[in-house]
Amino acid sequence: MTIEYSLRRRATQSRWLAIGWLSLAIVILMGTYISLPTVASRTLIFAGQIETPVSDKTNAAVTSKAEGGTLVHVRLYAVTIVALGLAIVAFACFLLGRTAFIEIEMAARLNGLADALCIAGDNFERLEKAALVLVPQPGYLSIPEFFSANTRESFLEVVKALRKA
């Protein structure tokens, strides 16, 4: 198995993971938006059914005023809970979508590196030039600059040893 083949296989896996993450985010959003009216109406119906017990008839007027205020607070609480639940689902889908875009970017970078290795052949000076042209710059993924001249040379030695094997 060559290095190029394993890079392309990993790029294919990244594409499938991206498809999976985006599909999961779409299913979650669709399920949320389909079930949201039902959940909201049931929550408000339940909040409307909450009653405070009336102990005697003399305090009925005072109790009904307090009950009306409590009912408004309970409804506001129910609407707030539904809105927060929707916000949580939307944020989770945002994170899933961001993960999918990172996977898509990794697939493009791995395919570019595999192409650069194919073009360079045994000429490793050409590998760096081909990688600059074929490997896209990171957009969603921040990659630190950790390749110094020494690490680059050791990386090239490892690639040479793998190609000979």
DSSP string, 111-136: HHHHHHHHHHTT-HHHHHHHHHHHSP
Question: Does pTM surpass 0.75?
Answer: no
117 neighbors 127 (Cβ within 8 angstroms) = yes
Structure tokens at 87: 């916000």
Q: How many percent of the chain have pLDDT more than 70?
A: 75
Residue 152 amino acid letter:
R
Is the predicted pLDDT of residue 147 greater than 80, yes or no? Answer: no
Per-residue pLDDT band at 19 (split at 50, 70, 90) = very high
pLDDT of residue 150: 63
Domain hosting 107: range is: 3-164
pLDDT tens digit sequence for 50-70: 654 545 555 555 455 555 566
Name the domain count of the chain. Answer: 1
